[in-house]
Amino acid sequence: MTETVDAPTATRIPHWIGGRRVDGGSGRSGPVYNPATGRQSGAVDFASVEEVDAAVQAARAAFPAWRATSLAKRAELFFRIRELLHARREELAEVLTREHGKVLSDALGEVTRGLEVVEHCCGIPTLLKGEHSEQASTGIDVYSIRQPLGVVAGITPFNFPAMVPMWMWAPAIACGNCFVLKPSEKDPSPSLWVAELLAEAGLPEGVFNVVMGDRVAVDALLEHPDVAAISFVGSTPVARAVYEKATASGKRCQALGGAKNHMIVLPDADVDAAADAAVSAGYGSAGERCMAVSVVVAVGDVAQPLVDAIRERIPKVKVGDGMDPSSEMGPLVTREHRDRVASYVENAPGEGATVVVDGREGVPDEGFFLNPSLLDDVTPEMKAYVDEIFGPVLGVTRVATYEEAVQLVNESPYGNGVAIFTRDGGAARQFQFDVQAGMVGINVPIPVPVAYYSFGGWKSSLFGDLHVYGPEAIGFYTRGKVVTSRWPDPATSKIDLGFPQTR
């Protein structure tokens, strides 16, 4: 498999600052590939500290007018954004597929789930309602209001280049903040595309900015005194470091990390339904989802029929260029990542696992492809079990009892998603009580919450207190204020040096 670098014809991907495209001046850039061909399609500018500062200053300048914009006008604008995004969602899906590699139908699914967060934000007048207590004390009313933080920033991963930024910018802006996005340098174009759409919808200049780049841009945001809050989604080591740096410089931070999601299959489960779910959730988006199932925990005598059923389904998964509507699974994002994922299959027999299906066989010559792999007899000390592989490699771990299965999940350092497959309602209910993870699926393999709940994991899958989107995002992107007010009759005014008490 070869990779052709064709930099002179590659499209330049600049920043978006103050409502327009701004070419980077740092002299640093990174290659962007079409993973289906392996050829370089773009060169993305890498921001300097000064360019990050320019984006923050544009956001800061826009903030006073934006926070004063009425809730009615903000809602109206979000309805326009929703309509435009909905009308042009297929175009965005294509931009996304060309740089990420996921198949078009999946890219459209990603855009649609992001769009649901935008739709939720159309209700911002209701979401920002405070509370009011009349006559809390005699002649005194108390009420609460929520106000935006100012300039807030988002740092996002490659695997959902449209949806994850929407999780952040939509509620942040709806709440009255101005936003600076630092998308993944591997697939930056969807962010630029969205910036242009927001401008077309009428979002004022400076409310949404994009700085392209690497660690230099991230550090500049983390250290910038005018950035009030950081939302981060990415791998656990970076999430931990981002959280520590951001909070050390006094910022509010939510940093979502990696995952190792288990799917437990109890002996009474419908084997065909469980196998369908394992294949869909293990190999969808080539396993590059933070909610992908990567370990199937087979309890008791369901193991062999389940492994057989998964093996039968794998050859039917159509792997190919994401732009081809008949493809079901596309390539991985880069050649390095593809090779890293393949190394887990290579090393599996040496660790004692059984390679049931070897996805390194029969891959096309061009592009960063890897076919689905299935490993059996995976045990908790193996690297294939411990590491987040983030590719189309599904492992099966066999255990004897439900208790052992739950123990495996609870001992994992991650706690993002988890699923159980069973026909026993009592077992499922016990599982939701026992299990240590933020998002639980009962006969649902990828339990990404709908937009009016919030998304987030436990343990090393989330650093910080508040989850993203839904009600918790409103809390994250605003500060509370409580007002105690009296409109006294001047005739009853008097001096009282005592501590205020309710009367």
**Residues assigned a catalytic role:** 290
The reply on whether position 290 binds ligand NAD by CB under 6 A is yes
**Is the CB of 3 or the CB of 214 nearer to ligand NAD?**
214
Residue 233 interacting with ligand NAD (CB under 6 A): yes
CB of 312 to ligand NAD, least distance (A): 29
d(CA 164, CA 267): 36
By CB under 6 A, the count of residues binding ligand NAD is 27
Residue 414 CB, nearest distance to ligand NAD (Å)? 9
CB distance 234 to 253 below 8 Å:
no
258 counts as binding ligand NAD under rule CB under 6 A: yes
In the bound state with ligand NAD, the residue whose beta carbon lies nearer, of 92 and 399, is: 92
In the complex, what is the shortest distance from the CB of residue 497 to ligand NAD, in angstroms, rounded to a whole number?
53
215 to 199, 229, 235, 357: CA distances (angstroms): 27, 17, 14, 37
SS3 226: coil
Residues 437, 446: Cα–Cα separation, whole Å: 13
Is position 451 an interface residue for ligand NAD (rule: CB under 6 A)?
no
Q: Which residues make Cβ contacts (< 8 Å) with residue 272, sequence separation at least 6?
A: 309
- On the CB side of 34, CA atoms within 13 Å amount to 17
Question: Judged by CB under 6 A, which of 44, 128, 155, 406 binds ligand NAD?
Answer: 155
- Evaluate whether 41 touches 98 at the Cβ level (below 8 Å): yes
Among 461, 467, 469, 470, binds ligand NAD (CB under 6 A): 461
Closest residue to ligand NAD, Cβ-based? 234
CA–CA dist 51, 29 (Å, integer): 13
Q: Do residues 394 and 304 make contact, with C-beta atoms less than 8 angstroms apart?
A: no
Work out which of 184, 191, 334, 422 binds ligand NAD, going by CB under 6 A.
Answer: 184
- Interface with ligand NAD (CB under 6 A), residue from 256, 269, 329, 435: 256
| Residue 151, C-beta contacts closer than 8 angstroms, at least 6 positions apart | 56, 59, 60, 63, 177, 178, 179, 180, 226, 227, 228
- If the CB atoms of residues 6 and 336 are measured against ligand NAD, the closer one turns out to be 336
* 3-state DSSP assignment of residue 245: helix
Among 166, 259, 356, 396, binds ligand NAD (CB under 6 A): 259
Q: Which of residues 377-406 bind ligand NAD (CB under 6 A)?
A: 388, 390
Question: 474 CB contacts (<8 Å, ≥6 apart)?
Answer: 127, 128, 146, 171, 175
Q: Is 284 in the site for ligand NAD (CB under 6 A)?
A: no
Using CB under 6 A as the binding rule, whether residue 295 contacts ligand NAD is answered as: no
- State the DSSP H helix or E strand holding residue 143, giving kind and residue range, or none if neither: strand 140-148
Query: Pick from 214, 244, 339, 358: which binds ligand NAD (CB under 6 A)?
Result: 214
Cβ proximity to ligand NAD, 208 vs 402, nearer residue: 208
| Phi, psi of 356, rounded to the nearest 5 degrees | -80, -45
Least distance between ligand NAD and beta carbon 159 (Å): 5
Binding track over 408-437 against ligand NAD, x by CB under 6 A = --------x---------------------
| Binding span for ligand NAD by CB under 6 A among 88-96, 227-235, 439-447, 493-501 | 227-235
Query: Per DSSP, what are the bridge partners of residue 132?
Result: 143
The span of 56-64, 98-106, 214-222, 265-273 binding ligand NAD (CB under 6 A) equals 214-222
Nearest distance in Å: CB 447, ligand NAD: 12
Number of C-alpha atoms within 13 angstroms, CB side, residue 457?
A: 29
Closer to ligand NAD at the Cβ: 159 or 478?
A: 159
Identify the sign of the CA torsion 44, 215, 292, 445.
Answer: negative
**Nearest-approach distance from CB 429 to ligand NAD, in angstroms:** 26
Tokens 């076919």 locate to 371
Q: Binding of ligand NAD at residue 368 (CB under 6 A)?
A: no
Binding segment for ligand NAD (CB under 6 A), chosen from 77-85, 93-101, 149-157, 314-322, is: 149-157
CA-to-CA dists, residue 179 to 154, 165, 264, 269, angstroms: 8, 11, 40, 46
DSSP 281-347: HHHGGGG--TT-EEEEEEEGGGHHHHHHHHHHHGGGS-B--TTSTT-SB---S-HHHHHHHHHHHHH
Is the CB of residue 266 less than 8 Å from the CB of residue 191? no
Asked if 156 touches ligand NAD (CB under 6 A), the answer is yes
- CB 52 to ligand NAD: min, Å: 13
- Which of 159, 294, 371, 373 contacts ligand NAD by CB under 6 A? 159
Tokens (6 digits) for 266: 């109890």
| 255 lies in the binding site for ligand NAD (CB under 6 A) | no
* Contact of 30 with 43, CB cutoff 8 Å: yes
**Closer of 82 and 467 to ligand NAD (Cβ):** 467
* Beta carbon nearer to ligand NAD, 215 or 486: 215
Region near ligand NAD per CB under 6 A, out of 26-34, 85-93, 229-237, 484-492: 229-237
- 45/188 Cα distance (integer angstroms): 10
Stretch that binds ligand NAD, among 155-163, 270-278, 304-312, 353-361 (CB under 6 A): 155-163
Closer by beta carbon to ligand NAD, 258 or else 330:
258
Residues within the interface to ligand NAD (CB under 6 A): 155-160, 164, 182, 184-185, 214-215, 218, 233-235, 238, 256-259, 290, 388, 390, 416, 457, 461
